[in-house]
Chains A and B, each alone.
Chain A
């Protein structure tokens, strides 16, 4: 790619040129396409030289001199003479120095390359930058780490239609870029990320290089200054296989390298996880939530550690041997009219509490997420995000209630951990899809509370949320408003019209509904208009067949020679 900007046309005078937007007539021997960076140099009387940088937002071509739609057929037959005019609308991104005057018609416009392009896209002002993908003309696009790590902002929000928008893959690409570029410096080792695997087993192969990566893909990684390979340090966690006496991970695709996670009855009591059994969104903080809080504190106060087993507790002299026992204990105490646990709450509230407790208990037991005396070495099954850079927590097999429980517990633990540390670094990243489920716009839930905390205080605590959802309109406004980076993949046409996407100009909204997988629209604080980017094919495996060793033969190829 050339490093020298090339002339492409002139600022035209038939449309108003304003400081924020102007049109460039494209010369017949050149072209401008959407998202090209353009620079115009001029001289302001009394102020000296001025450079206006911008990005092409619309390009149009038309026949000049044709007045009827059918004229095009006459032109084609060589009957009607016309001239073909191509013009590009440029939205200004930068004035250097800041003198907000329009470029004069007749000024030469250049396609920005090299240094000029960095200037137009503010890359020259990003001291610490991470590759965010490639522009459509194949050049690197960066994002400013200052706005991601909490220095000046934090959080990323990604919206898009499920399946086509490649939201999770892009989130992982960002993580990959972060962990494999030198920008984090010495703190890179201690920077952690937790990723929830909500769909299929796509993320259970992050530690394996993708053998389907082509040479072209590799060259794109090279262009971005990234190695093409797998995530260096990955911990994989899956729920235990239901019905199995030992804690074996419940995954289909791979047998090694995955650990099973669960929590113990004692942790459940001591860490106050009960609330995450009641994690559906409610209209507001109901009386049930009060009862949950009461029960949590009574449990913690009245239970003693079981001297015979590290996973269990003792209540009133009797050991609570498993999760069922614990739930029975709770039930008995809240249904007992004379128990202090229920306080003055009505029977109806208690009945509702018990109904939900039973539902949650059924789901958690089904997935065997809380272990009692059957636990052999609970500490090795506690999700440990400290020992690997990326920790994948698989929840795709779980029932909705169990998903909420796991997500809520992990979030709470991570947030409390960061709160205790009391400093920003090392950073912790959290990748969470289906934000609309966990932080819905309407209603209250304990997970939403934690997520709001992360969104609003995570910046100073060094906890960065990379959240994704199909529809930003269904996610709590404050979660989205606190995101420095907004990313949009393929959007449903109706969804794209909602005010949550007000940062997308009309043309870009229309483009959002035709984006291909692998293409995103990225809005970042530095650049006043969103850029369409694409990111390279994952260099880590996302399926079993991509993870097979590249050098040897595939699992079936050995048989094909017979």
Chain B
């Protein structure tokens, strides 16, 4: 019988569950080692009640202010003026905005390197730092902006950890590569890739709020252990939802070691339901409430989009076009 069930996200945000249903060739993708914690995937893990501890949430937002076409003699490339902001929220019984940073970049693709650009806006001015995206893909400048934001997020998470933050949750996946060792936990909202075999993944539908799967290892194409990961459910499954709704995947870097990873899995899974996104959030419940608050706040700090855009157009109009680097 055909069964229809809902995905709780607002349609304009896509779907919380976006994994390709048809299984592609396994060897081109990173895959999982499900036996890191246990081989028994028959029942969920129920972490003990979370002991209250300060936790930091780190997130970033970005915005394209103006898209560009850059001509350098015969060479033509796409680009953009972009803004991004990263910040953190400290939750220790009270949720307060902690450190934050607003950055701006002028990104050109095709290897063109612009000069940094100072743009007067109102009584002040904005400084767009120069950035270059390799390749000529039209989306390359946006991807570069996204990377800049991620770099800044990572730097912020690292600074927080250095400053003594015991638990830092970063919104989105970590870059599990040649990263410095850090206890930061990535919280991934969107289910875009299947790491587990169907017999293990069956457990996901049976998770209750605050429960988690066993920790599994994340391996790269060469079979090297890059990180540890687990799924956790934020809120009880409601009747119209499909069984992968309300799940997040958490990951930590391999460098923390198995014991620390298991400990983090316990603590994080237990505390996450308390921070679950508001029911009215378009990406409920995966968009955690502190993160949603932080995103609004950061967006506000990037300034008024229309004002910035107008200032940029005026600046270009007045012939203050970026001087392209010679050779």
Contacts and interface: CB of A to CB of B under 8 A. Distances in A.
Interface of A: 65-68, 70-71, 74-75, 77-83
A65 B274 contact: no
Contacts of B311: none
Nearest to A71: B278
Contacts of B89: 81
Given A68-B280, A70-B278, A78 B93 contact: yes
Most A CB contacts (10 A, CB to CB) among B94, B96, B293, B296 go to B293
Contacts of B274: 77, 79
Interface of B: 89, 91-97, 274-275, 278, 280, 289-290, 292-294, 296-297
Contacts of A74: 278, 289
B96 A81 contact: yes
Contacts of B293: 65-66, 80-82
30 contacts: A65-B293, A65-B296, A66-B293, A67-B280, A67-B296, A68-B278, A68-B280, A74-B278, A74-B289, A75-B95, A78-B93, A78-B94, A78-B95, A79-B91, A79-B275, A79-B289, A80-B95, A80-B289, A80-B290, A81-B89, A81-B95, A81-B96, A81-B97, A81-B290, A81-B293, A81-B294, A81-B297, A82-B95, A82-B293, A83-B97
Nearest to B94: A78
A80 to B, nearest CB: 5
B92 A78 contact: yes
B95 A79 contact: yes
Contacts of A71: 278
User: Main SS of the interface on chain A?
Assistant: loop
A82 B278 CA distance: 14
A514 B149 CA distance: 54
Contacts of A83: 97
The 9 A-B residue pairs with the shortest CB-CB distance, nearest first, are A81-B95, A81-B89, A78-B93, A81-B293, A79-B289, A80-B289, A80-B293, A78-B94, A78-B95
A79 B291 CA distance: 9
B91, B95, B280 pick with most chain A CB within 10 angstroms: B95
A79 B89 CA distance: 9
Contacts of B93: 78
Given A74-B278, A79-B290, A81-B89, A65 B297 contact: yes
Given A80-B289, A81-B89, 4 more contacts: A78-B94, A79-B91, A81-B97, A82-B95
A194 B91 CA distance: 69
Contacts of A75: 95
A385 B64 CA distance: 85
Contacts of B292: 80
Nearest to A66: B293
Nearest to B98: A81
> Taking each of A65, A67, A80, which has the highest tally of chain B beta carbons within 10 Å of its own beta carbon?
A80
Contacts of B95: 75, 78-82
A216 B312 CA distance: 65
Nearest to A75: B95
Contacts of A77: 274
A71 B293 CA distance: 10
B278 A78 contact: no
B2 to A, nearest CB: 35
Nearest to B89: A81
Contacts of A67: 280, 296
Nearest to B92: A78
